[in-house]
Amino acid sequence: MRSELYIDGQWVKPIKGGTCDVVNPATEEVIQTIAAATAEDVDVAVKAARRAFDKDGWPKLSGAQRAQYLRAIASGIRARQAEIARLEVLDNGKPLPEADWDIADAAGCFDFYAGLAEQRDNNPEETIALADDRFTSKAVKEPVGVAGAIIPWNYPLLMAAWKVAPALAAGCTIVLKPAELTSLTALELAAIADEAGLPPGVLNILTGSGSVAGQAIIDHKGVDKLAFTGSGPVGSKIMAAAARDIKRVSLELGGKSPFVVFEDADIDEAVEWVMFGIFWNQGQVCSATSRVLVQEAIYERFLARLIEETNRIRIGNGLEEGVLLGPLVSKRQYEQVLAAIESARNAGATVACGGNRPEGFDKGYYLRPTVLTDVPLDCDAWVEEIFGPVVCVRPFKMEEEAIELANDSRFGLAAAVMSRDDVRAERVAAAFRAGIVWINCSQPTFTEAPWGGYKESGIGRELGRWGLDNYLETKQITKYVSEDPWGWYIKPEAAE
Protein backbone atom coordinates (compact mmCIF):
# COMPACT_ATOMS: atom_id res chain seq x y z
CA MET A 1 0.00 0.00 0.00
CA ARG A 2 1.29 3.47 -0.94
CA SER A 3 1.80 6.05 1.81
CA GLU A 4 3.55 9.05 0.22
CA LEU A 5 2.20 12.01 -1.74
CA TYR A 6 2.11 11.82 -5.53
CA ILE A 7 3.32 15.18 -6.90
CA ASP A 8 4.69 16.00 -10.34
CA GLY A 9 5.08 12.35 -11.28
CA GLN A 10 7.04 11.49 -8.14
CA TRP A 11 6.34 9.82 -4.80
CA VAL A 12 7.46 12.28 -2.15
CA LYS A 13 7.25 12.70 1.59
CA PRO A 14 5.40 15.76 2.88
CA ILE A 15 7.65 18.75 3.44
CA LYS A 16 6.83 18.86 7.15
CA GLY A 17 6.71 15.08 7.54
CA GLY A 18 3.19 14.77 8.92
CA THR A 19 1.23 11.51 8.94
CA CYS A 20 -2.24 10.21 9.81
CA ASP A 21 -3.53 6.74 10.63
CA VAL A 22 -5.83 4.64 8.50
CA VAL A 23 -8.31 2.63 10.58
CA ASN A 24 -10.17 -0.49 9.46
CA PRO A 25 -13.77 0.25 10.51
CA ALA A 26 -14.53 -3.46 10.86
CA THR A 27 -11.86 -4.04 13.50
CA GLU A 28 -10.92 -0.53 14.71
CA GLU A 29 -7.27 -1.45 14.03
CA VAL A 30 -4.74 0.89 12.41
CA ILE A 31 -3.80 -0.75 9.11
CA GLN A 32 -1.66 1.96 7.52
CA THR A 33 -0.04 5.32 8.11
CA ILE A 34 -0.26 7.82 5.26
CA ALA A 35 1.23 11.22 4.57
CA ALA A 36 -0.52 14.38 5.72
CA ALA A 37 0.03 17.19 3.22
CA THR A 38 0.21 20.82 4.29
CA ALA A 39 -0.15 24.08 2.39
CA GLU A 40 3.49 23.85 1.33
CA ASP A 41 2.90 20.50 -0.37
CA VAL A 42 -0.24 21.81 -2.03
CA ASP A 43 1.72 24.76 -3.39
CA VAL A 44 4.28 22.43 -5.00
CA ALA A 45 1.49 20.30 -6.48
CA VAL A 46 -0.45 23.25 -7.88
CA LYS A 47 2.70 24.71 -9.43
CA ALA A 48 3.40 21.34 -11.06
CA ALA A 49 -0.15 21.19 -12.40
CA ARG A 50 0.16 24.79 -13.56
CA ARG A 51 3.37 24.04 -15.47
CA ALA A 52 1.88 20.91 -17.03
CA PHE A 53 -1.07 22.95 -18.23
CA ASP A 54 0.62 26.23 -19.22
CA LYS A 55 3.96 25.03 -20.60
CA ASP A 56 4.22 21.27 -21.06
CA GLY A 57 1.40 20.93 -23.56
CA TRP A 58 -1.19 18.66 -21.92
CA PRO A 59 -4.14 20.77 -23.16
CA LYS A 60 -2.60 20.92 -26.63
CA LEU A 61 -2.74 17.16 -27.10
CA SER A 62 -5.55 15.87 -29.26
CA GLY A 63 -8.50 14.21 -27.60
CA ALA A 64 -7.35 10.92 -29.09
CA GLN A 65 -3.94 11.28 -27.48
CA ARG A 66 -5.45 11.98 -24.06
CA ALA A 67 -7.85 9.08 -24.58
CA GLN A 68 -4.89 6.71 -24.82
CA TYR A 69 -3.83 7.65 -21.31
CA LEU A 70 -7.38 7.34 -19.98
CA ARG A 71 -7.80 3.88 -21.48
CA ALA A 72 -4.45 2.81 -20.08
CA ILE A 73 -5.62 3.89 -16.62
CA ALA A 74 -8.88 1.96 -17.10
CA SER A 75 -6.90 -1.14 -18.07
CA GLY A 76 -4.62 -0.72 -15.07
CA ILE A 77 -7.61 -0.57 -12.72
CA ARG A 78 -9.15 -3.69 -14.25
CA ALA A 79 -5.87 -5.59 -14.04
CA ARG A 80 -5.83 -5.01 -10.28
CA GLN A 81 -9.58 -4.93 -9.64
CA ALA A 82 -9.70 -7.73 -7.05
CA GLU A 83 -6.78 -6.28 -5.09
CA ILE A 84 -8.14 -2.73 -5.16
CA ALA A 85 -11.65 -3.85 -4.18
CA ARG A 86 -10.27 -5.65 -1.15
CA LEU A 87 -8.31 -2.53 -0.21
CA GLU A 88 -11.52 -0.50 -0.50
CA VAL A 89 -13.24 -2.83 1.97
CA LEU A 90 -10.39 -2.55 4.47
CA ASP A 91 -10.45 1.23 4.18
CA ASN A 92 -14.19 1.94 3.94
CA GLY A 93 -15.95 -1.12 5.39
CA LYS A 94 -18.42 -1.79 2.58
CA PRO A 95 -19.16 -5.38 1.53
CA LEU A 96 -16.73 -6.80 -1.03
CA PRO A 97 -19.30 -7.27 -3.84
CA GLU A 98 -20.21 -3.57 -3.55
CA ALA A 99 -16.55 -2.57 -3.62
CA ASP A 100 -15.92 -4.79 -6.64
CA TRP A 101 -18.82 -3.12 -8.42
CA ASP A 102 -17.42 0.32 -7.57
CA ILE A 103 -13.97 -0.47 -8.92
CA ALA A 104 -15.44 -1.79 -12.16
CA ASP A 105 -17.48 1.42 -12.46
CA ALA A 106 -14.35 3.51 -11.91
CA ALA A 107 -12.58 1.75 -14.78
CA GLY A 108 -15.66 2.23 -16.96
CA CYS A 109 -15.67 5.93 -16.14
CA PHE A 110 -12.16 6.36 -17.56
CA ASP A 111 -13.17 4.45 -20.69
CA PHE A 112 -16.29 6.57 -21.12
CA TYR A 113 -14.42 9.87 -20.94
CA ALA A 114 -11.77 8.53 -23.29
CA GLY A 115 -14.57 8.20 -25.81
CA LEU A 116 -15.79 11.75 -25.18
CA ALA A 117 -12.23 13.06 -25.54
CA GLU A 118 -12.03 11.45 -28.97
CA GLN A 119 -15.42 12.85 -29.94
CA ARG A 120 -14.18 16.37 -29.24
CA ASP A 121 -11.65 15.95 -32.06
CA ASN A 122 -14.56 15.44 -34.46
CA ASN A 123 -16.47 18.48 -33.19
CA PRO A 124 -13.82 21.02 -32.18
CA GLU A 125 -16.00 24.06 -32.76
CA GLU A 126 -19.54 25.26 -33.38
CA THR A 127 -20.32 27.72 -36.17
CA ILE A 128 -22.60 30.55 -35.08
CA ALA A 129 -25.08 32.01 -37.55
CA LEU A 130 -24.88 35.82 -37.53
CA ALA A 131 -27.32 38.40 -38.86
CA ASP A 132 -24.42 40.32 -40.43
CA ASP A 133 -22.67 38.37 -43.21
CA ARG A 134 -19.59 40.56 -43.03
CA PHE A 135 -18.53 38.51 -40.02
CA THR A 136 -18.11 34.85 -39.20
CA SER A 137 -18.23 33.56 -35.66
CA LYS A 138 -17.56 30.29 -33.92
CA ALA A 139 -17.65 28.94 -30.37
CA VAL A 140 -14.85 26.70 -29.16
CA LYS A 141 -14.53 24.89 -25.85
CA GLU A 142 -11.21 24.91 -24.06
CA PRO A 143 -10.03 23.33 -20.79
CA VAL A 144 -10.59 25.56 -17.79
CA GLY A 145 -7.05 25.05 -16.44
CA VAL A 146 -5.91 23.58 -13.14
CA ALA A 147 -8.69 21.81 -11.26
CA GLY A 148 -8.67 21.27 -7.52
CA ALA A 149 -10.82 18.31 -6.52
CA ILE A 150 -11.88 17.18 -3.06
CA ILE A 151 -13.78 13.90 -2.69
CA PRO A 152 -15.67 12.08 0.11
CA TRP A 153 -15.13 8.75 1.83
CA ASN A 154 -18.25 6.83 0.78
CA TYR A 155 -17.09 5.80 -2.72
CA PRO A 156 -13.34 6.47 -2.57
CA LEU A 157 -12.03 5.32 -5.95
CA LEU A 158 -15.26 5.90 -7.84
CA MET A 159 -15.52 9.52 -6.67
CA ALA A 160 -11.90 10.03 -7.71
CA ALA A 161 -12.75 8.70 -11.17
CA TRP A 162 -15.77 11.01 -11.44
CA LYS A 163 -13.41 13.98 -11.03
CA VAL A 164 -10.14 12.86 -12.60
CA ALA A 165 -11.46 11.21 -15.78
CA PRO A 166 -13.49 14.16 -17.16
CA ALA A 167 -10.84 16.67 -16.08
CA LEU A 168 -8.09 14.83 -17.97
CA ALA A 169 -10.37 14.23 -20.96
CA ALA A 170 -11.08 17.96 -21.17
CA GLY A 171 -7.37 18.79 -21.11
CA CYS A 172 -7.20 20.06 -17.54
CA THR A 173 -4.54 19.16 -15.02
CA ILE A 174 -5.67 18.27 -11.53
CA VAL A 175 -4.78 18.26 -7.85
CA LEU A 176 -6.89 15.69 -6.03
CA LYS A 177 -7.36 15.36 -2.28
CA PRO A 178 -9.11 12.16 -1.20
CA ALA A 179 -10.91 11.92 2.14
CA GLU A 180 -8.47 11.41 4.98
CA LEU A 181 -10.52 8.42 6.18
CA THR A 182 -10.28 6.56 2.86
CA SER A 183 -7.23 7.54 0.85
CA LEU A 184 -5.68 4.17 0.02
CA THR A 185 -7.31 3.46 -3.34
CA ALA A 186 -6.74 7.02 -4.56
CA LEU A 187 -3.03 6.43 -3.99
CA GLU A 188 -3.29 3.24 -6.04
CA LEU A 189 -4.91 5.32 -8.78
CA ALA A 190 -1.81 7.53 -8.76
CA ALA A 191 0.39 4.45 -9.12
CA ILE A 192 -1.72 3.21 -12.04
CA ALA A 193 -1.59 6.60 -13.75
CA ASP A 194 2.17 6.66 -13.27
CA GLU A 195 2.50 3.20 -14.82
CA ALA A 196 0.35 4.40 -17.72
CA GLY A 197 2.97 7.08 -18.43
CA LEU A 198 0.80 10.08 -17.62
CA PRO A 199 3.05 13.15 -17.97
CA PRO A 200 4.41 14.68 -14.75
CA GLY A 201 2.19 17.28 -13.12
CA VAL A 202 -1.00 16.30 -14.96
CA LEU A 203 -2.35 14.35 -11.96
CA ASN A 204 -1.28 15.08 -8.40
CA ILE A 205 -2.78 13.26 -5.41
CA LEU A 206 -2.28 14.57 -1.89
CA THR A 207 -3.56 12.87 1.23
CA GLY A 208 -4.27 14.77 4.43
CA SER A 209 -6.98 16.60 6.30
CA GLY A 210 -9.66 18.75 4.76
CA SER A 211 -8.95 21.60 7.14
CA VAL A 212 -5.30 21.81 6.09
CA ALA A 213 -4.65 20.25 2.66
CA GLY A 214 -8.19 20.75 1.42
CA GLN A 215 -8.30 24.35 2.53
CA ALA A 216 -4.96 25.04 0.87
CA ILE A 217 -6.32 23.75 -2.46
CA ILE A 218 -9.43 25.91 -2.09
CA ASP A 219 -7.41 29.03 -1.32
CA HIS A 220 -4.61 28.60 -3.88
CA LYS A 221 -4.71 31.27 -6.56
CA GLY A 222 -3.16 28.89 -9.07
CA VAL A 223 -6.31 26.76 -9.07
CA ASP A 224 -8.85 27.73 -11.74
CA LYS A 225 -11.72 25.43 -10.81
CA LEU A 226 -12.90 23.64 -7.66
CA ALA A 227 -14.85 20.38 -7.76
CA PHE A 228 -16.22 19.10 -4.47
CA THR A 229 -18.42 16.23 -3.35
CA GLY A 230 -19.41 16.17 0.31
CA SER A 231 -21.52 17.88 2.92
CA GLY A 232 -23.58 21.03 2.45
CA PRO A 233 -21.80 23.10 5.14
CA VAL A 234 -18.39 22.40 3.61
CA GLY A 235 -19.75 23.07 0.12
CA SER A 236 -21.05 26.43 1.29
CA LYS A 237 -17.62 27.36 2.64
CA ILE A 238 -15.96 26.31 -0.60
CA MET A 239 -18.38 28.41 -2.62
CA ALA A 240 -17.73 31.43 -0.42
CA ALA A 241 -13.97 30.98 -0.68
CA ALA A 242 -14.13 30.54 -4.45
CA ALA A 243 -16.02 33.81 -4.76
CA ARG A 244 -12.92 35.73 -3.68
CA ASP A 245 -11.05 34.75 -6.85
CA ILE A 246 -14.13 34.03 -9.01
CA LYS A 247 -13.08 30.40 -9.33
CA ARG A 248 -15.32 28.04 -11.26
CA VAL A 249 -17.15 25.71 -8.88
CA SER A 250 -19.11 22.48 -9.14
CA LEU A 251 -20.65 21.06 -5.97
CA GLU A 252 -22.35 17.73 -5.37
CA LEU A 253 -23.72 17.94 -1.85
CA GLY A 254 -26.14 16.19 0.47
CA GLY A 255 -29.70 15.07 0.16
CA LYS A 256 -32.77 13.87 2.01
CA SER A 257 -34.37 12.09 -0.88
CA PRO A 258 -38.00 10.87 -0.89
CA PHE A 259 -39.37 7.57 -2.17
CA VAL A 260 -43.13 7.61 -2.86
CA VAL A 261 -44.85 4.20 -2.96
CA PHE A 262 -48.42 4.11 -4.30
CA GLU A 263 -51.04 1.57 -3.33
CA ASP A 264 -50.89 -0.22 -6.69
CA ALA A 265 -47.20 -1.06 -6.29
CA ASP A 266 -46.08 -4.64 -5.72
CA ILE A 267 -45.21 -4.63 -2.00
CA ASP A 268 -42.33 -7.11 -2.22
CA GLU A 269 -40.72 -5.21 -5.09
CA ALA A 270 -41.22 -1.91 -3.31
CA VAL A 271 -39.62 -3.23 -0.12
CA GLU A 272 -36.64 -4.52 -2.09
CA TRP A 273 -36.06 -1.17 -3.81
CA VAL A 274 -36.57 0.80 -0.59
CA MET A 275 -33.94 -1.35 1.12
CA PHE A 276 -31.57 -0.92 -1.78
CA GLY A 277 -32.20 2.82 -1.65
CA ILE A 278 -31.23 3.20 2.02
CA PHE A 279 -29.08 0.24 3.14
CA TRP A 280 -26.66 0.03 0.21
CA ASN A 281 -23.21 1.17 1.36
CA GLN A 282 -24.58 1.29 4.94
CA GLY A 283 -26.80 4.21 3.92
CA GLN A 284 -23.71 6.36 3.40
CA VAL A 285 -24.98 7.60 0.06
CA CYS A 286 -25.77 11.22 -0.76
CA SER A 287 -28.77 10.20 -2.88
CA ALA A 288 -30.13 7.64 -0.38
CA THR A 289 -33.94 7.59 -0.46
CA SER A 290 -34.22 7.99 3.30
CA ARG A 291 -37.79 9.43 3.47
CA VAL A 292 -40.31 6.81 2.39
CA LEU A 293 -43.92 7.84 1.83
CA VAL A 294 -46.37 4.94 1.49
CA GLN A 295 -50.04 5.25 0.53
CA GLU A 296 -52.34 4.41 3.43
CA ALA A 297 -54.04 1.40 1.81
CA ILE A 298 -50.81 -0.64 1.87
CA TYR A 299 -48.89 1.13 4.63
CA GLU A 300 -49.27 -1.49 7.40
CA ARG A 301 -48.48 -4.42 5.08
CA PHE A 302 -45.55 -2.59 3.56
CA LEU A 303 -44.14 -1.68 6.95
CA ALA A 304 -44.45 -5.22 8.27
CA ARG A 305 -42.57 -6.62 5.24
CA LEU A 306 -39.93 -3.90 5.44
CA ILE A 307 -39.24 -4.66 9.11
CA GLU A 308 -39.16 -8.40 8.42
CA GLU A 309 -36.67 -8.08 5.58
CA THR A 310 -34.56 -5.46 7.36
CA ASN A 311 -34.11 -7.79 10.34
CA ARG A 312 -32.84 -10.50 7.98
CA ILE A 313 -29.93 -8.44 6.59
CA ARG A 314 -26.62 -10.11 7.35
CA ILE A 315 -24.22 -7.75 9.11
CA GLY A 316 -20.48 -8.27 9.32
CA ASN A 317 -17.00 -7.67 8.01
CA GLY A 318 -17.24 -6.73 4.36
CA LEU A 319 -14.68 -9.39 3.45
CA GLU A 320 -16.94 -12.19 4.71
CA GLU A 321 -19.05 -13.95 2.11
CA GLY A 322 -22.76 -13.18 2.26
CA VAL A 323 -22.43 -9.96 4.27
CA LEU A 324 -24.80 -7.27 3.02
CA LEU A 325 -24.16 -4.54 5.59
CA GLY A 326 -20.70 -3.63 6.81
CA PRO A 327 -19.61 -1.17 9.49
CA LEU A 328 -19.95 2.57 9.25
CA VAL A 329 -16.81 4.27 8.06
CA SER A 330 -15.53 5.68 11.36
CA LYS A 331 -16.17 6.03 15.07
CA ARG A 332 -17.29 9.62 14.56
CA GLN A 333 -19.81 8.65 11.89
CA TYR A 334 -21.08 5.77 14.02
CA GLU A 335 -21.63 8.06 17.00
CA GLN A 336 -23.35 10.70 14.85
CA VAL A 337 -25.81 8.17 13.44
CA LEU A 338 -26.57 6.78 16.90
CA ALA A 339 -27.13 10.32 18.17
CA ALA A 340 -29.54 11.02 15.29
CA ILE A 341 -31.57 7.91 16.16
CA GLU A 342 -31.70 8.86 19.84
CA SER A 343 -32.72 12.41 18.96
CA ALA A 344 -35.57 11.07 16.82
CA ARG A 345 -36.69 8.82 19.64
CA ASN A 346 -36.70 11.76 22.04
CA ALA A 347 -38.77 13.77 19.52
CA GLY A 348 -41.48 11.09 19.53
CA ALA A 349 -40.43 8.79 16.71
CA THR A 350 -40.78 5.03 17.05
CA VAL A 351 -37.79 2.78 16.37
CA ALA A 352 -39.60 -0.01 14.56
CA CYS A 353 -36.43 -2.08 14.25
CA GLY A 354 -32.68 -1.71 14.62
CA GLY A 355 -31.14 1.41 16.08
CA ASN A 356 -28.38 -0.24 18.11
CA ARG A 357 -25.22 -2.34 17.89
CA PRO A 358 -25.88 -5.91 16.73
CA GLU A 359 -25.19 -8.70 19.19
CA GLY A 360 -21.80 -10.36 18.98
CA PHE A 361 -19.96 -7.30 17.63
CA ASP A 362 -17.75 -5.90 20.35
CA LYS A 363 -15.37 -4.25 17.87
CA GLY A 364 -16.07 -2.30 14.72
CA TYR A 365 -18.54 0.47 13.93
CA TYR A 366 -21.52 -1.78 13.35
CA LEU A 367 -25.13 -0.65 13.52
CA ARG A 368 -28.32 -2.59 12.92
CA PRO A 369 -30.28 -1.19 9.96
CA THR A 370 -32.98 1.05 11.37
CA VAL A 371 -36.60 1.82 10.48
CA LEU A 372 -38.21 4.87 12.10
CA THR A 373 -41.95 5.57 12.10
CA ASP A 374 -44.12 8.33 13.57
CA VAL A 375 -41.33 10.81 12.84
CA PRO A 376 -42.50 14.42 13.29
CA LEU A 377 -42.13 16.47 10.13
CA ASP A 378 -39.97 19.02 11.95
CA CYS A 379 -37.72 16.35 13.46
CA ASP A 380 -34.09 16.33 12.33
CA ALA A 381 -34.40 12.66 11.37
CA TRP A 382 -36.99 13.67 8.74
CA VAL A 383 -35.32 16.92 7.70
CA GLU A 384 -31.56 16.36 7.95
CA GLU A 385 -29.24 13.92 6.21
CA ILE A 386 -28.24 11.15 8.63
CA PHE A 387 -25.86 9.34 6.24
CA GLY A 388 -26.37 5.93 7.77
CA PRO A 389 -28.68 2.89 7.50
CA VAL A 390 -31.69 4.76 8.84
CA VAL A 391 -35.00 5.17 6.98
CA CYS A 392 -38.06 7.18 8.00
CA VAL A 393 -41.44 5.80 6.87
CA ARG A 394 -44.80 7.55 7.00
CA PRO A 395 -48.21 7.13 5.32
CA PHE A 396 -49.97 9.51 2.94
CA LYS A 397 -53.51 9.65 1.54
CA MET A 398 -53.52 11.39 -1.83
CA GLU A 399 -50.98 12.03 -4.59
CA GLU A 400 -50.96 15.79 -3.97
CA GLU A 401 -50.01 15.22 -0.33
CA ALA A 402 -47.18 12.89 -1.29
CA ILE A 403 -45.73 15.40 -3.74
CA GLU A 404 -45.97 18.21 -1.22
CA LEU A 405 -44.23 16.15 1.47
CA ALA A 406 -41.59 14.92 -0.97
CA ASN A 407 -40.70 18.43 -2.10
CA ASP A 408 -40.80 19.94 1.37
CA SER A 409 -37.03 19.90 1.80
CA ARG A 410 -34.17 22.29 1.29
CA PHE A 411 -32.44 19.46 -0.58
CA GLY A 412 -33.22 18.26 -4.08
CA LEU A 413 -30.71 15.64 -5.09
CA ALA A 414 -32.86 12.61 -5.87
CA ALA A 415 -36.39 11.20 -5.62
CA ALA A 416 -38.16 7.96 -6.49
CA VAL A 417 -41.71 6.86 -7.21
CA MET A 418 -43.18 3.39 -7.46
CA SER A 419 -46.49 2.67 -9.21
CA ARG A 420 -47.88 0.33 -11.87
CA ASP A 421 -49.68 3.31 -13.38
CA ASP A 422 -47.13 4.69 -15.85
CA VAL A 423 -49.06 7.91 -16.39
CA ARG A 424 -49.15 8.65 -12.66
CA ALA A 425 -45.51 7.67 -12.19
CA GLU A 426 -44.40 10.03 -14.98
CA ARG A 427 -46.64 12.79 -13.59
CA VAL A 428 -45.16 12.48 -10.12
CA ALA A 429 -41.61 12.24 -11.50
CA ALA A 430 -42.19 15.53 -13.33
CA ALA A 431 -43.47 17.13 -10.12
CA PHE A 432 -40.42 16.22 -8.04
CA ARG A 433 -37.99 19.09 -7.45
CA ALA A 434 -34.89 16.95 -7.75
CA GLY A 435 -32.03 16.51 -10.18
CA ILE A 436 -32.20 12.70 -10.28
CA VAL A 437 -35.53 10.87 -10.44
CA TRP A 438 -36.14 7.12 -10.47
CA ILE A 439 -39.35 5.36 -11.49
CA ASN A 440 -39.93 1.88 -10.03
CA CYS A 441 -36.36 1.70 -8.73
CA SER A 442 -33.86 3.56 -6.56
CA GLN A 443 -30.15 4.34 -6.90
CA PRO A 444 -29.17 2.96 -10.35
CA THR A 445 -26.41 5.24 -11.60
CA PHE A 446 -25.02 5.37 -15.11
CA THR A 447 -21.88 7.10 -16.29
CA GLU A 448 -23.72 8.32 -19.39
CA ALA A 449 -26.45 10.21 -17.47
CA PRO A 450 -26.18 13.55 -15.60
CA TRP A 451 -25.77 13.49 -11.82
CA GLY A 452 -26.50 16.44 -9.54
CA GLY A 453 -29.20 18.18 -7.59
CA TYR A 454 -31.51 21.14 -7.11
CA LYS A 455 -31.55 23.60 -4.23
CA GLU A 456 -28.95 22.96 -1.51
CA SER A 457 -27.93 19.67 -3.07
CA GLY A 458 -25.40 21.36 -5.29
CA ILE A 459 -24.40 23.25 -8.41
CA GLY A 460 -23.57 21.73 -11.76
CA ARG A 461 -23.74 18.15 -13.01
CA GLU A 462 -21.28 15.31 -13.05
CA LEU A 463 -21.14 12.29 -15.38
CA GLY A 464 -22.13 12.11 -19.03
CA ARG A 465 -21.23 14.97 -21.33
CA TRP A 466 -22.31 17.30 -18.52
CA GLY A 467 -19.38 16.10 -16.42
CA LEU A 468 -16.98 16.98 -19.21
CA ASP A 469 -18.54 20.45 -19.53
CA ASN A 470 -17.59 21.09 -15.88
CA TYR A 471 -13.98 21.33 -17.01
CA LEU A 472 -14.45 23.38 -20.19
CA GLU A 473 -14.69 27.11 -20.90
CA THR A 474 -16.49 28.47 -23.97
CA LYS A 475 -14.68 30.98 -26.16
CA GLN A 476 -16.23 33.08 -28.94
CA ILE A 477 -14.03 33.81 -31.97
CA THR A 478 -15.45 36.34 -34.44
CA LYS A 479 -13.74 37.30 -37.71
CA TYR A 480 -14.36 40.20 -40.08
CA VAL A 481 -14.48 38.82 -43.64
CA SER A 482 -15.73 41.74 -45.76
CA GLU A 483 -13.41 43.15 -48.44
CA ASP A 484 -14.34 46.69 -47.41
CA PRO A 485 -12.06 47.60 -44.48
CA TRP A 486 -14.56 50.28 -43.41
CA GLY A 487 -17.67 48.24 -44.05
CA TRP A 488 -18.61 48.11 -40.38
CA TYR A 489 -18.00 51.81 -39.76
CA ILE A 490 -20.12 54.84 -40.59
CA LYS A 491 -17.68 57.05 -42.52
CA PRO A 492 -17.65 60.79 -41.60
CA GLU A 493 -18.66 61.91 -45.11
CA ALA A 494 -21.58 59.50 -45.10
CA ALA A 495 -22.74 61.01 -41.85
CA GLU A 496 -22.75 64.48 -43.44
Q: Is residue 494 a part of any domain in this protein?
A: no
Percent of the chain whose predicted confidence (pLDDT) is above 90:
96
Residue pair 41/378 in contact by the 8 Å Cβ criterion = no
Are 174 and 245 contained in the same domain?
Answer: yes
Are 243 and 326 contained in the same domain?
Answer: no
User: Rounded to an integer, what distance in angstroms lies between the CA atom of residue 146 and that of residue 170?
Assistant: 11
Residues whose CB is less than 8 angstroms from the CB of residue 436 and which lie 6 or more positions away in sequence, other chains included: 287, 413, 414, 415, 451, 452, 453
pLDDT value of residue 496:
46
Are 43 and 168 contained in the same domain?
Answer: yes
Give yes or no for residue 486 having a pLDDT over 80. no
Q: What is the pLDDT of residues 420-435, one digit of tens each?
A: 999 999 999 999 999 9
Give yes or no for residue 104 having a pLDDT over 90. yes
Residue pair 60/126 in contact by the 8 Å Cβ criterion = no
Are 184 and 317 contained in the same domain?
Answer: no
Q: Is residue 493 a part of any domain in this protein?
A: no
Residue pair 452/429 in contact by the 8 Å Cβ criterion = no
Q: Is residue 447 a part of any domain in this protein?
A: no
pLDDT value of residue 2:
80
Beta strand 472-480 with 135-143 is: antiparallel
Question: Lowest mean pLDDT: which of 35-49, 121-135, 210-224?
Answer: 121-135
Residue pair 146/173 in contact by the 8 Å Cβ criterion = yes
pLDDT value of residue 490:
54
Provide the Cα torsion 89, 94, 99, 102; round to 10°.
-130
pLDDT value of residue 495:
46
CA proximity to 152, closest of 285, 2, 338, 337: 285
Are 276 and 297 contained in the same domain?
Answer: yes
Q: What is the pLDDT of residues 287-329, one digit of tens each?
A: 999 999 999 999 999 999 999 999 999 999 999 999 999 999 9
Q: What is the mean pLDDT of the chain?
A: 96
Residue pair 253/457 in contact by the 8 Å Cβ criterion = yes
> What is the pTM (predicted TM-score) of this model?
0.95
Q: Is residue 392 a part of any domain in this protein?
A: yes
Are 161 and 58 contained in the same domain?
Answer: yes
Are 262 and 248 contained in the same domain?
Answer: no
The CATH number linked to 322 is: 3.40.309.10
Q: Is residue 449 a part of any domain in this protein?
A: no
Q: 261 pLDDT band (50/70/90 cuts)? A: very high
Are 301 and 236 contained in the same domain?
Answer: no
Are 342 and 233 contained in the same domain?
Answer: no
The CATH number linked to 164 is: 3.40.605.10
CA proximity to 395, closest of 305, 309, 300, 308: 300
Give yes or no for residue 487 having a pLDDT over 60. no
Q: What is the pLDDT of residues 2-20, one digit of tens each?
A: 889 999 999 999 999 899 9
Count: domains in the chain: 2
* Amino acid identity at 409: S
Task: Identify the domain containing residue 67 by its residue range.
Answer: 5-253+457-478
Residue pair 150/85 in contact by the 8 Å Cβ criterion = no
Are 33 and 149 contained in the same domain?
Answer: yes
- What positions carry a catalytic annotation? 252
Q: What is the pLDDT of residues 347-360, one digit of tens each?
A: 999 999 999 999 99
Are 28 and 151 contained in the same domain?
Answer: yes
More confident residue, 2 or 174: 174
Question: 3-state SS string over the chain?
Answer: CCCCEEECCEEECCCCCCEEEEEECCCCEEEEEEECCCHHHHHHHHHHHHHHHHCCCHHHCCHHHHHHHHHHHHHHHHHCHHHHHHHHHHHHCCCHHHHHHHHHHHHHHHHHHHHHHHHHHHCCEEEECCCCCCEEEEEEEEECCEEEEECCCCCHHHHHHHHHHHHHHHCCEEEEECCCCCCHHHHHHHHHHHHCCCCCCCEEECCCCHHHHHHHHHHCCCCCEEEEECCHHHHHHHHHHHHHHCCEEEEECCCCCEEEECCCCCHHHHHHHHHHHHHHHHHCCCCCCCEEEEEHHHHHHHHHHHHHHHCCCCECCCCCCCCCECCCCCHHHHHHHHHHHHHHHHCCCEEEECCCCCCCCCCCCCCCCEEEECCCCCCHHHHCCCCCCEEEEEEECCHHHHHHHHHCCCEECEEEEECCCHHHHHHHHHHCCCCEEEECCCCCCCCCCCECCEECCEECCECHHHHHHCCEEEEEEEEECCCCCCCCCCCHHHHC
Per-residue pLDDT averaged across 182-191, rounded? 98
Q: What is the pLDDT of residues 368-387, one digit of tens each?
A: 999 999 999 999 999 999 99
Are 262 and 165 contained in the same domain?
Answer: no
